[in-house]
Amino acid sequence: MEVDMWTRIAQNLLPAPRCHLCQAPTTTTDGLCGACARDLPRLGAACTHCGLPLARAEAGTLCGSCLADPPPFDQALMPFRYAPPIDRLIGALKFRHDLAAGTLLGQLLASAVAGRSVDSLFPIPLHPARLRERGFNQAAELCRVVARAHDIPWDSRSLQRLRATPAQHISSRRERLRNLRGAFAWQGNTPPARVALIDDVVTTGATARAAAATLKRAGAEWVEIWAVARTPPTHTGNF
C-alpha cells in the first residue's frame, strides 16, 4: 500500500523511536530495544506464594517464611529482581517523577500479568502527607498503565493509608510489620471478589501483608500482589 503524503511528512519530521535505556533506535512499542529487553534482570526461581528469590525452585515451592507464617495475600507476581536497570527506572519514577520511566515499567508489568484474571486493581496508597510531599503516587502511575492495557477497573480511593510510617528501607522486617499495624483502612463499598494490589517493589512484604489483610477484612476473597520487582533476601529496598 502506498504511503500517503502526510504519513511521509510525519516520518520525516518526527524523531525515530529510541530505546529508553540505551537510546538506540527501536521499532518496538514498549520503549526498549531487543538487546536491553533481553538483559533485564528476570526474577527466575522464586517462592510460588510471595515471589521471594530462591536458589532453586520447582513448581509449588514455598519459602520458609510462607511455610511458617503464610501471608494474607493469595499470590504474588513480580517479573524482575530489584537490580540494574530496573532499580534505576524505579528511582527515576519515584524520586524524579520520570513519567516515561513509569510508563515503561507499567508496560513491563502489564506484559507479565497478561492472562491473570482479577476484577479490580488497587495501587498501594501513600499517606496524604507523603503524597503532598512527593506530588504523586508511583503505584497509581503503574496501576493506570496496567489497567489501561488489560481494561481492568482500578480504584485509588477506597484503600487508604491512615498513618505515616517510618522509612521502610531502614527498618527490619519485624519493625516494618509493627510499623504497619493499623496503617491501612477500607473506606468504600465491599471490594470485588478477586483483586490485585499494585506497587513498584516488594522487599519484606510487610506492606503487602498489611494492605492485603485490610482488603480481606473488607470482603475480598482473593488478593494478588503485582509489583515490578522483588528484592533478594539480603537487599534493603523501598517497599
Q: Name which of 27-41, 101-115, 188-202 the model is least confident about.
A: 27-41
DSSP readout, 34-100? HHHHHTS-B--SB-TTT--B-SS--TT---HHHHHS--SSSEEE--EES-TTHHHHHHHHHHH--HH
The CA distance from 49 to 59, in Å, is: 11
User: What are the tens digits of pLDDT across the range 102-136?
Assistant: 999 999 999 999 999 999 999 999 999 888 888 89
The CA distance from 227 to 18, in Å, is: 25
For 46, 104, 152, 166, 227, the CA distances from 144, given in Å and listed in that order, are 27, 12, 10, 27, 13
What architecture is domain 41-230? 3-Layer(aba) Sandwich (3.40)
User: What are the tens digits of pLDDT across the range 205-218?
Assistant: 889 999 999 999 99
Q: Which residue, 115, 113, 118, is CA-closest to 146? A: 113
Residue spans in the chain of domains classed CATH 3.40.50: 41-230
Mean pLDDT over the full length of the chain: 85
pTM for the model: 0.85
- Binned at pLDDT 50, 70 and 90, residue 222 comes out as very high
Neighbours of 27 (CB within 10 A): 8
